């Protein structure tokens, strides 16, 4: 029986796995192309653990561009963990308004107090110790340990997950492959410069290995990337089926009197916990608009404003009907209510949803 002809070297090379990614190539690229970020130490300078921690808490599920002005504002107002710990929680919540995910602000303040009052203002250096702090999960612990203290670990955020998924053509959605992605990323870590390596992976994902149209021609890992070898960079990471967010409805009540608006503070736990709001109903899938005024903060001639305010939270979408009324004199007592002069409404640190309500009611002009 005749033997099949031997494969050519070109054919053999087309099926050969790419060489393993070289961390030295990434670090060399980072030294030339690193992003200039306000919380990042300059080359050769020691990172400030407070700045690293503050930025990483703010960056959770939030873009770099959105975080920059908040980070600079916090650092100018509270330049140390001791200063932040001494600040009233209400002031911290107001300064955080608009950044979203408000439980982060409460945990930020609690963590600052623990570090300042129980640890002498010194952040722990090890991942396990960092994990004991309020609001610090596995990613943040690894990021602070690596970036601030050069601990031997790699922090894996969304950018890093995308890079690793493409490098090794991991054929499962990120949601299902998180542990594999995290463990694989650790195997890439060089013996030194863990902090720079972590930031280099983040920068690579943010600027080169982007979700759409990755610039493989600029990538220091291109020769070691399995997705690039296959010509399938757009297929990775594998996309999970998108689940439609449930729609909830509710109502908010804008009550004015003598040039002031009625606000209240939401309960400390739960959605928008501890933030200022116009009195509102619960947000429910089965909300009945005909019964909304049972939740009104005071008896008044309420009128429904045209249209609705729409907002998207992490786990659901919301549509709010806005009721407005004006009183000639304030009622003697409204539980948990306070009158805020309209001229100072913007100083209240309204969350984005309530700012939309104020705009719809004509109290704030954008």
Are 324 and 343 within 8 A, CB to CB? Answer: no
Task: List the one residue out of 120, 127, 164 whose CA is nearest residue 142.
Answer: 127
Residues recorded for the chain: 366
Alpha helices in the chain (DSSP H): 9-15, 23-33, 49-59, 64-77, 81-86, 89-96, 103-118, 127-130, 138-149, 158-167, 174-188, 194-207, 226-230, 352-360
| Distance of alpha carbon 163 from alpha carbon 116, whole angstroms | 36
| Distance of alpha carbon 203 from alpha carbon 26, whole angstroms | 10
Are 263 and 338 within 8 A, CB to CB? Answer: yes
- How do 303-304 and 276-277 pair as beta strands? unpaired
- Residue 231's contacts (CB-CB under 8 Å, 6 or more residues apart) are none
Catalytic site includes residue 347: no
Strand partners, 253: 323
Catalytic residue among 45, 56, 161, 232: 56
Strand partners, 321: 251
- Residue 78's contacts (CB-CB under 8 Å, 6 or more residues apart) are 84, 87
- List strand residue ranges (DSSP E) for 259-307, in order: 260-265, 276-277, 303-304
| Residues identified as active-site | 56
């Amino acid at each position: 029986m005749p033997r099949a002809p031997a494969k050519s070297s070109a054919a053999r090379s087309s099926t050969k796995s790419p060489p393993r990614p070289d961390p030295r190539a990434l670090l060399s690229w980072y030294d030339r192309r690193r992003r200039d970020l306000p919380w990042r130490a300059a080359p050769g300078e020691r990172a400030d653990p407070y700045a690293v921690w503050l930025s990483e808490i703010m960056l959770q599920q939030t873009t770099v561009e959105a975080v920059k002005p908040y980070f600079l504002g916090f650092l100018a107002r509270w330049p140390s963990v001791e200063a932040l710990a001494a600040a009233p929680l209400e002031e911290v919540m107001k300064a955080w308004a608009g950044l979203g995910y408000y439980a982060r602000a409460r945990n930020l303040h609690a963590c600052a107090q623990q570090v300042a009052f129980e640890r002498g203002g010194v952040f722990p250096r090890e991942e396990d110790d960092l994990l004991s702090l309020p609001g610090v999960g596995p990613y943040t612990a690894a990021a602070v340990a690596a970036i601030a203290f050069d601990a031997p670990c790699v922090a894996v955020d969304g950018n890093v997950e995308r890079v690793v998924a493409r490098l090794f053509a991991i054929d499962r959605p990120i949601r299902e492959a998180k542990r594999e992605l995290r463990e694989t990323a650790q195997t890439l870590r060089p013996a030194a410069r863990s902090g720079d390596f972590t930031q280099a992976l983040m920068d690579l994902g943010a600027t080169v290995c982007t979700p759409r149209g990755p610039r493989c021609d600029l990538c220091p890992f291109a020769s070691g990337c399995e997705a690039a070898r296959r010509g399938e960079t757009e297929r990775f990471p594998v996309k999970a089926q998108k689940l439609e967010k449930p729609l909830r409805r509710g109502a908010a009540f804008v009550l004015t009197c003598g040039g002031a608006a009625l606000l209240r503070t939401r309960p400390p736990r739960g959605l928008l916990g501890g933030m200022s709001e116009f009195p509102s109903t619960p947000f429910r899938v089965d909300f009945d608009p005909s019964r909304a005024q049972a939740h009104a903060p005071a008896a008044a001639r309420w009128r429904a404003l045209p249209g609705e305010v729409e907002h998207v939270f992490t786990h659901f979408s919301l549509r709010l009907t806005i009721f407005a009324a004006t009183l000639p004199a304030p009622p003697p007592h409204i539980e948990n209510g306070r009158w805020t002069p309209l001229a100072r409404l913007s100083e209240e640190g309204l969350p984005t949803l309530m700012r939309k309500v104020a705009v719809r009611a004509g109290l704030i002009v954008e």
